[in-house]
Amino acid sequence: MKKALLLLLTLFLVQLSHAEDGYRLWLRYNHIDNNKLLLSYRKTITAIHVAGQSPTMDAVKKELELGLNGLLDTKIAVTSRPGGNTIIAGTREALTTSKLLPQGAQVPADGFLITTNVANGNTIITANTATDILYGAFHLLRLIQTHQSIENLHIISSPRVKLRLLNHWDNLNRYVERGYAGISIWNWHTLPDYIDDRYTDYARANASVGINGTVLNNVNANATVLTAPYLQKVAALANVLRPYGIKVYLSARFSAPIEIGHLKTADPLNDSVRQWWQAKAKEIYQLIPDFGGFLVKANSEGQPGPQSYGRSHADGANMMADALSPFGGIVIWRAFVYDPQANDRFKQAYAEFTPLDGKFRKNVLVQVKNGPIDFQPREPFSPLFGAMPRTPLMMEFQLTQEYLGQGTHLVYEAPLFKEVLNADTYAKGPNSTVAKVIDGSLYDHSLSGIAGVSNIGNERNWTGHLFGQANWYAFGRLAWDYTLSSEQIATEWIQQTFSNDPTVVVSIKQIMLASREAVVNYMTPLGLHHIMGNGHHYGPAPWSNNAPRPDWDPVYYHKADAKGIGFDRTASGTNALQQYQTAVQQLYADSNTCSDQYLLWFHHVSWQHKMHSGRTLWNELCHKYQEGVDTVGAMQHKWEQLKNNIDPERFHQVQMLLAIQHKDAIWWRNVCLLYFQTFSQMPFPANYEKPDHTLEYYQQQRFPYAPGN
Ligand code: BDP
């Protein structure tokens, strides 16, 4: 009896230790379950040699040990005298001295080289800096995790964009603005004395995809973070992240000199204000010598800024840039601005920022959201890209799915990111893609950057929805190399996160790759945008017309009436289209040739308008909403079939969330079609599901505690 109990207990414990709760992200390092492959890896790798000692080289050693011991299911010795079949990691300098660098090895200026020394079977990971070696180590582990050959390697990999940053919208009280994965991972209260292991795992995860900076706090900033006690906390985090090549940045509140400096003004041209920021910069760099710099949201959505003193964004940014430049810091100034008086919110950022081109200091980047409005399921690229040749522009993507079903919907965002990066601005003729603006190559800028608004919280699996991890992963991978395809990135993420089983890989990939177009279709097809409920931004509320400002109202954006629907941004309307190069204008200017995806972004078209499919606009709208619902149904079905191939914990979680997503997709379809039908007055086409409630029923639904409210 006792024995039986003991056995049961052991079984239970084994079960527990294998519980897949998502914490390990894509760095699970489970042993290779293919025997032949396992044996071949064991033959190729018999030892690890790490040349030189530093916190970063120690991180390299730790990660290689952790990864290889796990993957190869055996203890791989760390050696100081590498023989053959050894993984050797060291800077070019160190390996040259110890004669371990193979003759003629081409080490890239940035990034890493992984090369096999065929003479003795050693695998060399080398670079100019320890951080780049760390990236190389993670790359090698990725190759093994995804069951690729590691024989005769010759890989040179360099990042295309210099600053690859997460932006946390985390408040000091740990509430995360637009966060759907619990509270902030930064425990400001227990910092600087308590260092959560999670901070290190966060650093590992970021380094594994090449992310090299993080803005710790919300753009709607609280000046308290710049006070001495908080800077101590920031310094403690910087110490944890530094070995992993991650610099910390802070969102700086423009009026901090008033709030914590007790000055009467924050005027950027005022001497006391300038001196205050200079002293603050000095104080920060004494604590954090490699501090990245400031991110600033100014004169936007009620935030203070230089315009409050009759000064320009450039005056404000330059004042801070001057304070940071002696220490090598930078200012990232956001272009997310819009004035309620403007006749089209679309045009505002361009109108305010293009006149300032060439007026910013060398250490200023202007950070632009991917689209002209605000992280919608689909937006055309922001017309600022390609319109400020003398200013390095940084991309801002949103990983947290504020408008994409938040922590509840499975939406793989890589296709969205790629669509924007691949878009052609035509700024210097054809093939002047947004990516080339961002990486600095189009206008020869040495500063370049890309940011992702973080979707990370303190939930056990980091992102709430397990598939949110894929967006974090994809962001990092694309920031490093935007030429990778969405499919490639999905494949490697699935292999590392779930398994290399082809059934699993193929099915999950289909789910992921279909998901972005699905969300566009069930929320905002054909170029509709910003028709969600005000405040929480979760569900549909196309009728909303009573927000504090008109440009927060759905009716402002869809403009449905008896004649038709859509926002006329052509010459007969607000002419926002004119902000693009002629070649781009030509793509969108004519409602008959404009692609369906952007039609209602640029045109107010009649309900009878003939679409490319031959359907009327109204029928096409019904068709697209239904298609969105059907795609989610198919995603659910595919997932169900994986029941026996995926651990029960993660299977069940995703299963439940997909069921909610399906319900929500139907909700969006019903609400939007019922509402727009009050204008079109046209019947639902045959063969489509009909809404099961009335419009009034939906309008009465209240969601007072939806996250984000
Ligand atoms: C909007 C969010 C708001 C952010 C703002 C921003 O709704 O919470 O503060 O963007 O980016 O999307 O500053």
Give percent of the chain with pLDDT exceeding 70. 97
Rg (alpha carbons) of the chain, rounded to whole number:
26
Q: Which of 113, 123, 62, 136 is nearest to 87 (CA)?
A: 123
What is d(CA 130, CA 60) in angstroms, rounded to the nearest whole number? Answer: 8
Atom of ligand 1 nearest to the CA of 369: 11
> Same structural domain for residues 272 and 231?
yes
> Same structural domain for residues 345 and 452?
yes
How far does residue 468's CA lie from ligand 1's centre (Å)? 19
DSSP string across 336-369: ----TTSS-GGGHHHHHHGGGTT-S-TTEEEEEE
- How far, CA to CA in Å, does 468 sit from each of 409, 475, 530, 703? 9, 11, 22, 23
Nearest CA to ligand 1 atom 13: 219
Sorting pLDDT into bands at 50, 70 and 90, what band is 3? low
Tens of pLDDT, residue by residue over 204-261, are 999 999 999 999 999 999 999 999 999 999 999 999 999 999 999 999 999 999 999 9
Q: What is the dihedral of CA 462, 466, 467, 472, to 10 degrees?
A: 10
> Same structural domain for residues 221 and 267?
yes
Is the Cβ atom of 699 under 6 angstroms away from ligand 1? no
> Same structural domain for residues 469 and 405?
yes
CATH number at residue 530: 3.90.1330.10
> Same structural domain for residues 350 and 325?
yes
Q: What is the tally of structural domains in the chain? A: 3
Give percent of the chain with pLDDT exceeding 90. 94
Is the Cβ atom of 259 under 6 angstroms away from ligand 1? no
How far does residue 402's CA lie from ligand 1's centre (Å)? 9
Whether residue 12 is predicted with pLDDT greater than 50 in this model: the reply is no
> Same structural domain for residues 543 and 678?
yes
The pLDDT of residue 15 is 46
What is d(CA 241, CA 291) in angstroms, rounded to the nearest whole number? Answer: 11
Is the Cβ atom of 375 under 6 angstroms away from ligand 1? yes
Catalytic residues, by residue number, are: 301, 374, 402
Atom of ligand 1 nearest to the CA of 177: 8
User: Is 492 part of any domain?
Assistant: yes
DSSP string across 140-189: HHHHHHTT---SS-EEEE--SSSEEEEE--B-TTSPBTT--SSS-S--TT
The pLDDT of residue 235 is 99
Is the Cβ atom of 92 under 6 angstroms away from ligand 1? no
How far does residue 169's CA lie from ligand 1's centre (Å)? 9
Contact 601, 377 (CB under 8 A): no
User: Is 543 part of any domain?
Assistant: yes
Tens of pLDDT, residue by residue over 109-167, are 999 999 999 999 999 999 999 999 999 999 999 999 999 999 999 999 999 999 999 99
Whether residue 600 is predicted with pLDDT greater than 80 in this model: the reply is yes
Nearest CA to ligand 1 atom 12: 374
How far does residue 370's CA lie from ligand 1's centre (Å)? 13
> Same structural domain for residues 171 and 148?
no
Structural element, H or E, at residue 450: strand 449-453
Q: What is the dihedral of CA 681, 685, 688, 689, to 10 degrees?
A: 30
Tens of pLDDT, residue by residue over 497-528, are 999 999 999 999 999 999 999 999 999 999 99
For 399-410, the three-class secondary structure string (H helix, E strand, C coil) is CCCCCCCCCCCC
Nearest CA to ligand 1 atom 1: 374
How far does residue 533's CA lie from ligand 1's centre (Å)? 15
Sorting pLDDT into bands at 50, 70 and 90, what band is 11? very low
The pLDDT of residue 496 is 98
User: Is 596 part of any domain?
Assistant: no
The pLDDT of residue 304 is 97
How far does residue 644's CA lie from ligand 1's centre (Å)? 41
Atom of ligand 1 nearest to the CA of 396: 11
> Same structural domain for residues 133 and 175?
no
The pLDDT of residue 14 is 44
Q: Which of 48, 125, 38 is nearest to 86 (CA)?
A: 48
Tens of pLDDT, residue by residue over 635-682, are 999 999 999 999 999 999 999 999 999 999 999 999 999 999 999 999
Sorting pLDDT into bands at 50, 70 and 90, what band is 5? low
Residues 6+ apart with CB under 8 A from 352: 313, 335, 337
Is the Cβ atom of 374 under 6 angstroms away from ligand 1? yes
Q: What is the dihedral of CA 33, 37, 43, 49, to 10 degrees?
A: -70
User: Is 514 part of any domain?
Assistant: no
User: Is 595 part of any domain?
Assistant: no
What is d(CA 459, CA 23) in angstroms, rounded to the nearest whole number? Answer: 9
- Region 396-410: mean pLDDT is 98
Residues 6+ apart with CB under 8 A from 96: none
What is d(CA 124, CA 139) in angstroms, rounded to the nearest whole number? Answer: 12
- How far, CA to CA in Å, does 106 sit from each of 113, 115, 127, 236, 508? 7, 10, 9, 37, 38
> Same structural domain for residues 145 and 190?
no
Residues 6+ apart with CB under 8 A from 199: 185, 237, 240, 241
Contact 365, 333 (CB under 8 A): yes
- Region 610-630: mean pLDDT is 98
Q: Which of 157, 173, 188 marks a domain boundary? A: 157
Tens of pLDDT, residue by residue over 319-375, are 999 999 999 999 999 999 987 777 899 999 999 999 999 999 999 999 999 999 999
User: Is 579 part of any domain?
Assistant: no
Whether residue 394 is predicted with pLDDT greater than 50 in this model: the reply is yes
> Same structural domain for residues 101 and 191?
no
Q: Domain of 662? A: 520-567+604-699
The pLDDT of residue 351 is 96
Nearest CA to ligand 1 atom 11: 336
- Region 425-433: mean pLDDT is 98
User: Is 3 part of any domain?
Assistant: no
Is the Cβ atom of 534 under 6 angstroms away from ligand 1? no
Token pair of 527 as six digits: 């170029």
Q: Which of 114, 130, 141 is nearest to 492 (CA)?
A: 141
User: Is 504 part of any domain?
Assistant: no
